[in-house]
Amino acid sequence: MIVVSDTTAISGLIQIGRVELLREMFGEVHVPVAVRDELLHSHHALPAFLQIDSVVNRLEVARLEHELDLGEAEAIVLARELRADVLLMDEKIGRRVAQREGVPIIGLMGVLVAGKQRGFVPSVRVFVGELESKAGFRVSARVKQMVFAQAGE
């Protein structure tokens, strides 16, 4: 499975000390150079399972930068270039653009539910609580209710 990620999910999981969940779930996760740079701005080291890739089509990145930040734009273009199975992205506008561009997406909440179903996440509630309190991750009450129901919690 080819997975490309934007910054937010990786950064949040690093902040709560649970970034290895992505390795357990996907093995390797591809990120574009701009996402690597964003992550290194906030974190002194990156997980070894991250595969850093340069985006080839800079014109597509420039086109998407009219709507998104550089990391989001590169992540969408990289996902298309690698024919990724899924793009891990949580930002609402980025998700909308990715869908418009035909890129399949999953958010961190979806990863947590899948992780619970596969036995990697003992409690989605605990993960979400840590993400909110330690990483400043924001999840609406409606989304949390839906995610907890999907996780059987």
User: What are the residue ranges of CATH 3.40.50.1010 in the chain?
Assistant: 3-108
pLDDT digits over 107-125, tens only? 999 999 999 999 999 999 9
pLDDT digits over 40-97, tens only? 999 999 999 999 999 999 999 999 999 999 999 999 999 999 999 999 999 999 999 9
- pLDDT of 82 reads 98
* The pair of three-digit structure tokens given for residue 48, joined into one six-digit string: 């070894």
The CATH code belonging to domain 3-108 is 3.40.50.1010
Global pTM value? 0.94
Give CA–CA dist 64/45, Å, rounded.
Answer: 28
Nearest to 30 by CA among 101, 86, 105, 68: 86
Q: Which residues contact 91 (CB under 8 A, 6 or more apart)?
A: 6, 8, 72
